[in-house]
Amino acid sequence: MSMGASTLENSNEVRTASWGNSSEFDDFNYIPVSPWGPISLIFGVISLAGYFGMFGLYVAFMGVILSVLALVRLKALAGMVKGRPLAIIGLLLSSTSLVFGSMNMVHNYRTECPEGFRRVSFPRDISEKQFLYLGSFRKLHPDVVPLIGQKVFLKGFMWQTEKAEGLTRFILLKDNGECCFGGKAQPYDMMEVVLQGEATTRAYASMVAVAGVLRANVNAGEDEPVYTMEATLVEEARTGF
């Protein structure tokens, strides 16, 4: 009887020693990391592209929203999960990229048009107007006529360039294929750009900006561009609008 009692006491002591030392569990008090924190940080890093284009600004805008939501969510969980520092860093990166990226884009837009040239939208101010017809006789739209012979600045996309370097002329489309995928470009959707003097340019896959004197030949064939740009500037567009 005494041996049984002694054994029971020893068993209780062992159990107490095994389970009663709470400090041992403190070493394994794991707090999970909320996915909100890493996601906010990832958006913040990607948003650095906002210094170079619209895509990065969209990401930066979404990053700011996600980071704010993350901080609100983490606060509501009251220490049950970690990730607040990551969300704060993501918020700082996204907001900084959004502010300074927007300022950089505004600056590029204001300075990309050369002095003395008129900014014109190829899709809206030229292509959208199409042509007027009197029988088989083609006329320019009255809104386009004042642009002919003027120094204009506009943007578009190179189409089917014959080589990658040393171009002296090329066809410029109003967009990057929307007007001609599945068919041929209409005469009002394109213009021939002819570089003046001995100037040349390389081919660009992205949007390009051109500046020069706009000409028009209403007697051009149906497959020929009616508009011609006597260009003094061809460069990759600094902004996409």
* Long-range contacts at 70-79 (CB < 8 A, ≥ 24 apart): 70/34, 70/36, 70/37, 70/39, 70/40, 73/34, 73/36, 74/34, 74/36, 74/37, 77/34, 79/31
Q: Is 165 a member of any domain?
A: yes
Q: How far apart are CA 90 and CA 68, in angstroms?
A: 9
Please say if the pLDDT value at position 16 is more than 50: no
Which pTM does this prediction carry? 0.72
Assign 178 a pLDDT band (cuts: 50, 70, 90).
low
Please say if the pLDDT value at position 10 is more than 60: no
Torsion of CA 219, 223, 224, 226, to 10 degrees: 60
Residue 48 gets which letter from DSSP? Answer: G
What CATH number is given to the structural domain containing 181? 2.40.50.870
Residue 19: per-residue pLDDT: 44
H or E stretch at 25: helix 22-26
Q: What are the tens digits of pLDDT across the range 210-237?
A: 999 999 999 888 778 899 999 999 999 9
Q: Are 174 and 105 contained in the same domain? A: no
Residue 8: per-residue pLDDT: 45
Assign 17 a pLDDT band (cuts: 50, 70, 90).
very low
- Contact in structure between 211 and 117 (CB atoms under 8 Å): yes
Tokens of residue 153, six digits: 């600045």
Of the ranges 9-13, 128-132, 186-190, 192-196, the best mean pLDDT one: 192-196
Q: How far apart are CA 77 and CA 36, in angstroms?
A: 12
Residue 180: per-residue pLDDT: 53
Q: What are the tens digits of pLDDT across the range 32-60?
A: 878 888 889 898 898 888 777 778 888 89
Residue-number span of the structural domain to which 61 is assigned: 2-111
Q: Are 98 and 154 contained in the same domain? A: no
Q: What are the tens digits of pLDDT across the range 60-93?
A: 999 999 999 988 988 888 778 888 889 899 999 9
Name the average pLDDT for the chain.
84
Q: Are 230 and 141 contained in the same domain? A: yes
| 154 beta partners | 210
When divided into structural domains, the chain yields a total of: 2
Tell me which of 91, 111, 131 is where a domain ends: 111
Q: Which of 77, 59, 55 is nearest to 67 (CA)?
A: 59
Tokens of residue 119, six digits: 């900014």
> Across residues 94-116, what is the average pLDDT?
91
Tokens of residue 138, six digits: 């083609």
Q: How far apart are CA 19 and CA 95, in angstroms?
A: 50
Q: Are 8 and 103 contained in the same domain? A: yes
Neighbouring C-alpha atoms within 13 Å toward the C-beta of 225: 20
Q: Is 241 a member of any domain?
A: no
Q: Is 171 a member of any domain?
A: yes
For 200, residues 6+ apart whose C-beta sits below 8 A from its C-beta are 165, 166, 167, 168
Residue 26: per-residue pLDDT: 52
Listed range (32-41, 53-62, 100-109, 173-182) with the worst mean pLDDT: 173-182
Q: What are the tens digits of pLDDT across the range 125-166?
A: 999 999 998 887 889 999 999 999 999 999 999 987 878 899
Please say if the pLDDT value at position 20 is more than 60: no
Q: Are 133 and 227 contained in the same domain? A: yes
Q: How far apart are CA 189 and CA 175, in angstroms?
A: 8
Q: Is 77 a member of any domain?
A: yes
